[in-house]
Structures are given as structure tokens and as C-alpha cells.
Structure 1
Amino acid sequence: MVSTQWALPRLVVAAPASGHGKTTVATGLLAALRRRGLTVSPHKVGPDYIDPGYHALAASRPGRNLDPFLVGAERIAPLLRHGASVPTPADIAVVEGVMGLHDGAVGRRDYASTAHVARLIEAPVLLVLDTTAQGRSAAALTLGMAAFDPAVRIGGVILNRVGSPRHETLLRDALAEVGVPVLGAVTRAAEVAAPARHLGLVPVAERAPESVAIVTALAELVEATVDLDAVLDLARTAPPLTIPAWDPVTAVGGPADAERPVVALAGGPAFTFSYAETAELLTAAGADVVTVDPLRDPTLPAGTRAVVIGGGFPEAYAEALAGNATLRAELADFDGPIVAECAGLLYLGRSLDGVPMCGRLDLTARMTGRLTLGYREALAVTDSPVARAGEPVRGHEFHRTTTDPTHGDRSAWRWDDAEHGFVSGRVHASYLHTHWAGHPAAARRLVEACR
């Protein structure tokens, strides 16, 4: 475990609200700094899986999430340090915020907000402003954002979607009045907009060539419009990190014995929702983690003893998933533990929008027009390969589908006075997404279940 101080330059890219261009600026910064020869560590506040995919493509290392609700506030700085340390130490960490700077978990003030994370990691904030329909008021907005929480230091502003040189001059003059430096002015550039879907941006894995082109365009845009030297100077004002790095081996207590069972982790375009720490914790607990793509791989990896199927967009690939009949049949008969979250739940059912799935669980699923979204505080209802009955777990929901029935005779979780999910034999499946860094016992329990 690393315990010495580390003067890691770092900053948080935030905005007054969603839609101001945080992902555009953060991804462009990551790519532009990497093109300078720097090793850049990408991070995202909140539970989002999709933005970190673009970050990873830009930085050429895993995009990692920093979510106090899911993992606990005490793990945020250690997880930042861990992510910035592997596979090699980074020269700078760029953290993209979530929603508006001060927007936290509902009913918890600013807990789990971008401002909360900025305080926890002692990082300056680079505020992104959508200036499409404002002029001098941008300065008032920035001043209010800075004064709302004096413990959060706004070190500079990126003006986004600037319409003209005259518009930029007006904005710069206004920001100078309140003493906040402008570190860049990004012009409107529709050609670098990533396409969206019902749950947000289309994941990188689904459109790799186009995603590479988008990231390249973002790098060039930021290089042309942002003062990268000033951004680096701002990042270097962050104080040294003194808290030890999070360590997956310590978190799970080390491997139980010499045997290393194979755990298949679903990946590929249909199953892109997975935190990097999941594989790290399983490996630390003694497993050999091998990726399986249910769209293309006809069988599970040789020697597979357990399967983890995370979230994604199976509804966009239902026909292709159905076409891989050999893997569906193998999963229907697989006698090892299976852990499935959201998309994995749908894939294990009988059908999705009438298209046949694995049939391992006696349920049907369909798309709806309703978005189910939010943090959840759950209790495990049934002993399973990832939790003991009565154990509390924090997670989040993010889907537009529903299942019939909504839970099994032996349900997985209980929250809001209702039961959710399915425990059937050695299968644990539900809509709840969890971050195992906040629940490392899940990895240890799953590997032990393999044995």
C-alpha cells in the first residue's frame, strides 16, 4: 500500500448544470494532454459508465468513477490515487464532474456532488460555461458558483460554445471584473458531438471508429482554443495527496488459496457497463478474470467457474444476442454462480421485447417509455453468491425496461418497502448496479462460491 506523499497535479471539470459541455471539455483535455506526451489519469464523478469510456479512449487507460454514495466518502481520495497509479503513475488527473457543481444525491444536500468530490480530493475546479445565450451574466453566474461554497476553489473558466470573436471579448472582459481567469474559449463545433441514446451517449465500444474520430477532433479543438499551459499550472496548485492508495488485495483480504478459478466477465458492445475495480477485486480475491463477448463468443472461456454480466444495451443488440444460440444454451445450463446487473438480468430472462434470450430466469422483459433512475439503499433479502441476507448495499438504477414478474419468489434486494430482483439457485440478478469497491466482500464471496 502506497503511504508516501504524492504531488499529483489534478483538477475537476465542472459546470453550473448538465449540458454545458463537461464531457466535451474533459475528453478534449485528456486527449490534448496525452498528445503532449503526458500520462493522464481519467476520472468521473458519479455512477456513469459511458463518459469513462470516452475518457479511456482519450487517455489510453481505464476511466474510473469517484462516487461517494456508492463507495463511501472515505474511499474517494484513495481510489483517485489508485487509479492515477496503475498501470503507471500519471502526470496529471482530470476529473469530470456530474450534473451541476453543487447538485448532490436527492435529500442529502451536496453529498456525492462534484463539489463534494472536489473537496475530498482537494482539487481546483475548472468551470465550463455554455455561453450560447449569455454575455456579462456569465460573470455573475461564475461569482455565485464560487461564493456558494468557499471550500470549493474555482481556479478558472472555459467558455464553451462561443459564437464569435466579439462574443468572446465581451465574456473575457466580464470574467476579468470578478477576478476569475478564462483559460479557454471553445467555439461551437457540432462535428464533435457524440450521438445520444435513451440512456445518454452511445458507448465507445459500440462505435469504435467514429469514437476515435470524435476524440481526435476534441483534442484538436481543445488544442486550438484552450491554454493548456494555464490548465497545467492550475492542476499543479493542488496540494500533495497524503492518504494511502486504495488497494484491492487489502480490500478483499487477499486470495483464499492457491486455486485460481476462471471468472468470465461479460464485455463487448452489448455489455459495456462495468467498473474497472470489479475485475481488480476478483483478481485480488484469487480469480483469473477472462472477458466474454456474448455477441461473438460461442462458448464461455475454458474452465469458467462463475459468470458476471453487468449493464449495457442488450435491447440494441437483441437479435444478435439471440443469434448466438450456443452461448445462450450454455448459460441456461451453467451450474456455477452467475451475477447479473440490469442488462445481465434481461439477458438471463426468457425474452426481451419478444426476442429469445437465455431462459435461465423465468421472466420476460420489455422496453417502456419510463426512465427509472436514482441511488438506492438496499438490503439483501436472500443469501447469494454476492451478499448475505440482511447485508446493506448501496447502488443505483438506470433503465427504461421492466420485467414480468418484477421479482422472484426469492428476491435479491429490498428497498423503498418493496422487493426487487431474483435469486434462483446460484443466480443473483437485479436492476441494481453496485460498485464493488464499496462492497468488496462481493468479490471475495463470489470467488469462494466458485470453490
Structure 2
Amino acid sequence: MVSVPAVVIAAPASGSGKTTLATGLIGALRRAGHRVAPFKVGPDYIDPGYHGLAAGRPGRNLDPVLVGADRVVPLYQHGSRDCDLAVVEGVMGLFDGRIDENHSGPVAEGSTAQVASLLGAPVILVVDARGHSQSLAALLHGFATFDSGIRLGGVILNRVGSERHDQVLRAACARVGLPVLGSLPRMAELEVPSRHLGLIPAVEHGVAATNAVAAMTDLIAAHVDLAAIAALSRTTVSGPAWDPIDELRAAGTSSATAPVWAGAEDAAAGVAPVLAMAGGPAFTFGYAEHRELLLAAGAEVAVFDPLHDDLPTGAAGLVLPGGFPEEHAAALAANTPLLRAVAQQAGAGLPIHAECAGLLYLTRALDGHSMAGVVDAEAEFGPRLTLGYRDAVALADSPLWRAGERVRGHEFHRTRLISGAAADPAWGWHGSQGERVREGALIHRVHASYLHTHPAGNPAATARFVAAAAAFAGARVPH
């Protein structure tokens, strides 16, 4: 498969305006007639929601840490199918990535630079122009020469204060031979509301999110050379696209996972198990490939909103993804029929996969509001952010994992569990100081944890979960 050309939107540091630029660029290119594939480097769930609004198709992630560097290109090929151009928004600064004391190369794992290198795509550097003058040339020279494997294709100046300021900055860019592809004035009204974990997700922000994306699109269309960016875009890779069925088959080839794919095939051959997947404003964190893998493994996916819906009829498994339940705790608590149904079905052996927000939903209470009570603990909004990649080990068998399996995941939360009784932990890893960490809870067939994983990096876990749901569905059918 020939790859779709791309540009990578990066910056010297966080807070430079990448999301505004990338989202507006996606929208402006789409308005100009391009079919744009939107991507985000790293594990972030929130920015792809805005990308998706701008592109009219799902925003996807490219995270070498969570899925492996070998899957980045296939996932790119999959996500850009039927498009003619892709925009990849970076993470943090261009060369920032996972901190690993054993890594000595210039390109950190999970960095924007690594993804740009894997794709062979040019980088457009977004510079927050506030406080910059002629010395911008030195900064750009450093970014352009730090790693010969990364090609800077141009610069977009953001938050430019005046026409004179623009002239000085353009002269600095010319000194190092980098074209200026756009110059954006300071526009405070384009700031999208945020809270403790970053931007408010587009699903929650509703009409305001749509209006913000439209304003970003207008800004970029007026101040950026779209034709130059389209001409600059390219990739140097080719090969097959990621395919969920192929991934599931490959996951079933080893002796450790052979029964997994067979079980999923059995599910697909009979009546597909219904998997209830929480959505709506409280459960917004998810990867598009998750649903695609569940469907490929033989499941029927029924999305529902725990704020007001009942548990879908015939649910043989429950997926509770991440999100912001702390912002909707009162409304979640008010839907008592659903809470009772979840608790009852968990006790009956319903396979449940709960990540972060899902874990909170299963506790006894969240910030004083009653939850499902499956996990014998209470949760509250905490004093600090927990953030970072984890190299975790599954501590026991579950509907998804086998004891001893190693998984890369990501934590991203400001809540914490309190006043809880001891439960069998789901994961173990070593903290930054070498301390042993035990996290999550295994109860019956429930796997609940703060750890976010990417299903594309762990297809066998998805197949196992579907097989467990099929077994649960079969066990309750009268014979």
C-alpha cells in the first residue's frame, strides 16, 4: 500500500499552540477539498476529539510506546485509508519522549521526532513568538541540526504581536533557511476551556467545541499557506495497513494464546456476544482501534451512556473506558437502575474491563456520590496529577490478561482510591524510585485499573475478552 503524504506539527515546547494549529489546519485543508487523516502522537485521548470534528472522521493516535514502533506505520496506513493528506500533531517538544536512563540516542521513545522519522514525514515547527526576536534564528538552527534524521520543512509563527514583530521573526527564519508557512496573530478568544487534565473533551464541550474548531479553521485558512503545506507533505514508507483480523490471528499463533483466537472464532461462528461499551460525556477516553478489534473478534458492540441509559439488553461483557466521571458523579449516581444492574451482573460473573473512569464507576462512592460498589473502595479528587508510562506485569489471570504478561500502559488521573479493603491487585510495576507498586483490582471476572492500555498493542487481550463474553452468554442460555 502506497502511503498518504503527511506533515507533522511539532513545537520547541508544550504550550506553543500545536493543537490550535493542527486542528485548524485539518479543518482548513478539508475546506479546501482535501480528505484529511488526523493523527496525534502519544496516548492523549482529548486532542483527537477536536481533530475528528475538524476532519469529519475519527482522530487516531500513533504511540510507539503503547503499540510498539513496528505498528506505527501500519496504523498510519490504516487510519489514512481513502485520504489524500494526513496531519500528525506532535506531543510536548519535538524531541521530548519517554525518559529512559538506558536510552542515549537523540530521538526519545514516543517522541514526535521518532514518529516523524518512522513516517519519513517533514516537520513543521510551531513557535510561540511571544518574547522572541532575532535570537529565534539560533533556536531554529538548533532544532534543524540536532538530529539529521529529522527534516524541518518550515515554521509557523504563533501569537505574533505586530507587523514589525512579524518582519523581525521572518528575517530570523530566513537566516537559517526555513520558510515561514504562516504567521498567526494573538487571538485569545480561540482559547478552548480546559481543566485539570487538559482541554475539555469535544464530546462534553458540545456546540462550543464545534464553534471553537470553526474559529481555528478560519484562523488557519486566513494566515497559513495551505498550498505550500500540501506541496511539502510526504512520507517515505509503504506497506500493508494494520488489519484487526490479521492482528487477532497473529495473536493466536503462540502456544500461550492459541486458545484465544479459537475462542473468538467460536464466538463469531455462533451468536455474537453483545459487549456494552460506556460512552457519553463521562466516558470519552477510547481508541478507535478498540471497537474495530472487538468487532473483528466476533462481538457486537452496543454503546450506551451511563448518565441516563440502562445496561444494553443481553450484554455479555462490559467495557468501561476512561473519561471524567468526577465531573459527572452526581448524574452517574442518579442512574441507580444501571448501578444496580452492573453490580448484580458483576456478581453473576459478567466479564468487565474497566480503565480509570471505569474503575471509579465500580467503587462504592466517588467524591461522596454512590457508585456501583463492585470495588470495595471509595474514590476522591486528589491533590496531584498522576501521569506517565508504566511497564506493568499482570499479577493474575483475568478475562484479558494471563499472569506474568508484560504490558505497557499509561496513567493519567487526578483522583485516588481511599478507605478501601484489600483486593487482589491487577498490575505490578516498579516506581521511579524502584519501589514496588501494586495497582488495580481483580474481582470475580472484573479487571479494574487506573492503567490505560492500547488495544492495538495487545490484540490477544481483546480476543480473550470477547471469548470470555461468549462463554458468559453461552452459560446463561437455557439448554
TM-score class, shorter-chain normalisation, is over 0.9
| Aligned counterparts of 1:92 and 1:366: Cα–Cα separation in 2 | 44
| Aligned counterparts of 2:196 and 2:8: Cα–Cα separation in 1 | 27
| Aligned counterparts of 2:419 and 2:120: Cα–Cα separation in 1 | 46
| Aligned counterparts of 2:146 and 2:239: Cα–Cα separation in 1 | 27
Q: Report the CA distance between 1:67 and its aligned residue.
A: 0.5
Q: Report the CA distance between 1:5 and its aligned residue.
A: 2.6
Q: Report the CA distance between 1:227 and its aligned residue.
A: 0.3
CA contact (8 A) 1:162 1:187 kept: yes
Q: Secondary structure at the match of 1:365?
A: strand
Q: Secondary structure at the match of 2:408?
A: strand
CA gap 1:444/1:135 in 2 versus in 1, 3 angstroms? same
Q: Report the CA distance between 1:243 and its aligned residue.
A: 2.3
Q: Report the CA distance between 1:405 and its aligned residue.
A: 5.6
Q: Which residue of 2 aligns with 1:386?
A: 400
CA contact (8 A) 2:376 2:421 kept: no
Q: Secondary structure at the match of 2:155?
A: strand
| Aligned counterparts of 2:421 and 2:59: Cα–Cα separation in 1 | 33
Indicate yes or no: 2:448 matched with 1:429. yes
Q: Secondary structure at the match of 2:372?
A: coil
Q: Deviations over 1:2-49 (max 9, x none)?
A: xx333x110100000000000010000001011112111000000000
| Aligned counterparts of 1:305 and 1:62: Cα–Cα separation in 2 | 27
CA contact (8 A) 1:407 1:421 kept: no
Q: Deviations over 1:206-249 (max 9, x none)?
A: 111000000000000001100000010111x433x312111111
CA gap 1:408/1:31 in 2 versus in 1, 3 angstroms? farther
Q: Which residue of 2 aligns with 1:238?
A: 235
Q: Percent of aligned pairs with the same residue? A: 56
Q: Which amino acid aligns with 2:2?
A: Q
CA contact (8 A) 2:378 2:420 kept: no
Q: How does 1:36-435 map to 2 (within 5 A)?
A: 36-85=32-81, 89-107=82-100, 108=103, 110-235=108-233, 237-239=234-236, 241-253=237-249, 255-257=264-266, 258-259=269-270, 260-297=272-309, 299-334=310-345, 335=348, 336-404=350-418, 408-416=422-430, 417-435=436-454
Q: CA RMSD in A?
A: 1.2
CA contact (8 A) 1:407 1:420 kept: no
CA gap 1:407/1:202 in 2 versus in 1, 3 angstroms? farther
CA gap 1:371/1:189 in 2 versus in 1, 3 angstroms? same
Q: Deviations over 1:278-317 (max 9, x none)?
A: 10111111101111110121x1112110011111110000
Q: Which amino acid aligns with 2:48?
A: P
The answer for unaligned runs of 5 or more in structure 1 is none
CA contact (8 A) 1:385 1:428 kept: yes
- Comparing 332-341 and 402-411, the one that deviates more: 402-411
Q: Which amino acid aligns with 2:304?
A: V
CA contact (8 A) 2:340 2:372 kept: yes
| Aligned counterparts of 2:18 and 2:245: Cα–Cα separation in 1 | 34
CA contact (8 A) 1:262 1:289 kept: yes
Q: Which amino acid aligns with 2:438?
A: E
Q: Secondary structure at the match of 1:437?
A: helix
Q: Report the CA distance between 1:409 and its aligned residue.
A: 2.9
CA gap 1:234/1:408 in 2 versus in 1, 3 angstroms? farther
| Aligned counterparts of 2:37 and 2:423: Cα–Cα separation in 1 | 44
Q: Which amino acid aligns with 1:55?
A: H
Q: Secondary structure at the match of 2:312?
A: coil
CA contact (8 A) 1:15 1:129 kept: yes
CA contact (8 A) 2:113 2:150 kept: yes
Q: Which amino acid aligns with 1:189?
A: M
Indicate yes or no: 2:457 matched with 1:438. yes
Q: Secondary structure at the match of 2:77?
A: helix
Instruction: Find runs of 4+ consecutive structure 1 residues off by over 6 angstroms.
Output: none
Q: Deviations over 1:29-79 (max 9, x none)?
A: 001011112111000000000001000111011111100110000000110
Q: Which residue of 2 aligns with 1:5?
A: 2
| Aligned counterparts of 2:97 and 2:202: Cα–Cα separation in 1 | 27
Q: Report the CA distance between 1:133 and its aligned residue.
A: 0.7
CA gap 1:78/1:440 in 2 versus in 1, 3 angstroms? same
Q: Secondary structure at the match of 2:398?
A: coil
The answer for unaligned runs of 5 or more in structure 2 is 250-260, 431-435, 472-479
Q: Report the CA distance between 1:406 and its aligned residue.
A: 7.0
CA contact (8 A) 1:408 1:423 kept: no
| Aligned counterparts of 2:224 and 2:382: Cα–Cα separation in 1 | 42
Q: How does 1:21-40 map to 2 (within 5 A)?
A: 21-40=17-36
CA contact (8 A) 2:380 2:415 kept: yes
CA contact (8 A) 2:343 2:373 kept: yes
CA contact (8 A) 2:388 2:411 kept: yes
CA contact (8 A) 1:406 1:421 kept: no
- The TM-score normalised by the length of structure 2 is 0.90
| Aligned counterparts of 1:415 and 1:20: Cα–Cα separation in 2 | 33
| Aligned counterparts of 2:163 and 2:75: Cα–Cα separation in 1 | 41
